Amino acid sequence: MATFDTGPLEDVDVVAASPAHMPKGQRRQRVIVFAVLLAVLLCALTAGLVYTVQLQKAQAGLRAALSEKQEENAALQEKNDSLSSENSRLSDELGSEKSQNAALAAENEQLKMQVSLKAANGTTATTDAGQIADNKAKLVALTFDDGPGQYTAELLDFLREHHVRATFFLIGRNAAKYPALIQRMEAEGHAVGNHTQNHARLPRLSADGVRKEIDDCNAVIRAAIGHDAVMLRAPGGNTNDTVKGVARNMGLPLAHWSVDTKDWQSRNADKIVAAALNPKNGIKNGSVVLMHDIYRTTVDAAKIIIPRLEAQGYRFVTVPELLAARRGGAVAGEVYKNGYPGR
């Protein structure tokens, strides 16, 4: 077998690739790279630290601002609660004052039954309160809505001549044109009622809307005679709990009717008379009669109806007088259709 002699192995020096054995330029390059990386790292750490500090400061500022706003809101809420309480107190006081005014107005109407009323023609019409309170006395309350109008003065002339007192439910926008007629109504013993400012359908309105319609009309009446209306008649007789509640708070009883002459529909004097004097559905002791003084035909019909009722022994009173005599008075917010004895 052949053998090969490789000869003696020579020692080989293996030099590790350490920095000490690197060329000087290469070592410097590595140092620079390391320094740059270290600087970048330090910058990143510093930036992160600065951002964290700024973020904490911002959060602290937001927390402080939030706390301040919460304190402001709490103060505003406290102020709002105080104002609400004060507003409630003032509303209660206003309602109380209006109730007192209504009571005084009703008392004034009652006093009118006990005193002599001097008519413009110089005659004196007297009413015995005791006779009116007697259930045997035949009483009727004529009411006239929607005025004053161009025929109201003529109607007042006729009522004065016959010593008749009635109740006028005024629309504010119309009444504003005739302050002298309102004053005359008051002076001649008639009751002045509220029929809203614009003849509004009250159940369609909010409580505030109902109150405004009544308030605006009362302002017109008050400017003429120094006090509010003694009663409220809702246009069309349309009411609901909201309307009744507002009327109650304002100290106003609600007057409806038991006899509708439908003068607003027929515009015919003969038909108005027939409806008023109908033996079955017409006027009887304690009736409240609905008419409108804005129509020529209604005034003509009144000139026929009143003498005929006089001949039957009827006494003409205002609605407050009728309710005082037959029901002992009227309660704010309640609806009254008649003053029939025993009802």
Q: Which residue has the tokens 């008519």?
A: 119
Span 224-240, mean pLDDT? 98
Q: Active-site residue numbers?
A: 145, 292
- pLDDT tens digits for 43-58? 888 888 888 888 888 8
Domain that holds residue 288: 113-336
Q: Would residue 284 count as lying in a domain?
A: yes
- pLDDT tens digits for 110-135? 454 444 333 333 333 334 455 565 66
- Look at residue 119 and give its three-state secondary structure: coil
Q: Would residue 150 count as lying in a domain?
A: yes
User: Does 97 have pLDDT greater than 60?
Assistant: yes
Q: Would residue 104 count as lying in a domain?
A: no
Percent above pLDDT 90 for the chain:
59
Q: How confident is the model at residue 102 (pLDDT cuts 50, 70, 90)?
A: low
Are 276 and 282 contacting, i.e. CB atoms less than 8 angstroms apart?
yes
The DSSP symbol for 204 reads G
Are 308 and 277 contacting, i.e. CB atoms less than 8 angstroms apart?
yes
- pLDDT tens digits for 262-321? 999 999 999 999 999 999 999 999 999 999 999 999 999 999 999 999 999 999 999 999
Q: How far apart are CA 97 and CA 246, in angstroms?
A: 14
- 226: domain CATH number is 3.20.20.370
Residues 6+ apart with CB under 8 A from 161: 119, 121
pLDDT score, position 105: 62
Q: Would residue 221 count as lying in a domain?
A: yes
pLDDT score, position 196: 98
Q: Would residue 117 count as lying in a domain?
A: yes
Q: Would residue 22 count as lying in a domain?
A: no
Q: How confident is the model at residue 245 (pLDDT cuts 50, 70, 90)?
A: very high
- Taking CA 278 as the corner, what is the angle to CA 299 and CA 157, rounded to the nearest 5 degrees? 20
Q: Would residue 44 count as lying in a domain?
A: no
Tell which residue, 141, 140, 159, has the closest CA to residue 151.
159
pLDDT score, position 272: 98
Give me the number of domains the chain comprises: 1
What are the backbone dihedrals phi and psi of residue 205, each rounded to the nearest 5 degrees, phi first?
Answer: -100, 160
User: Does 235 have pLDDT greater than 50?
Assistant: yes
Q: Would residue 196 count as lying in a domain?
A: yes
Structure tokens at 320: 């407050």
pLDDT score, position 341: 66
Are 148 and 177 contacting, i.e. CB atoms less than 8 angstroms apart?
yes
Are 252 and 219 contacting, i.e. CB atoms less than 8 angstroms apart?
no
Q: Where are the beta strands (DSSP E) in the chain?
A: 116-118, 124-126, 138-145, 167-170, 191-194, 254-255, 259-260, 287-292, 314-316, 335-336
pLDDT score, position 87: 75
DSSP string, 293-318: TT-HHHHHHHHHHHHHHHHTTEEE--
Question: Between 97 and 146, where is the model more confident?
Answer: 146
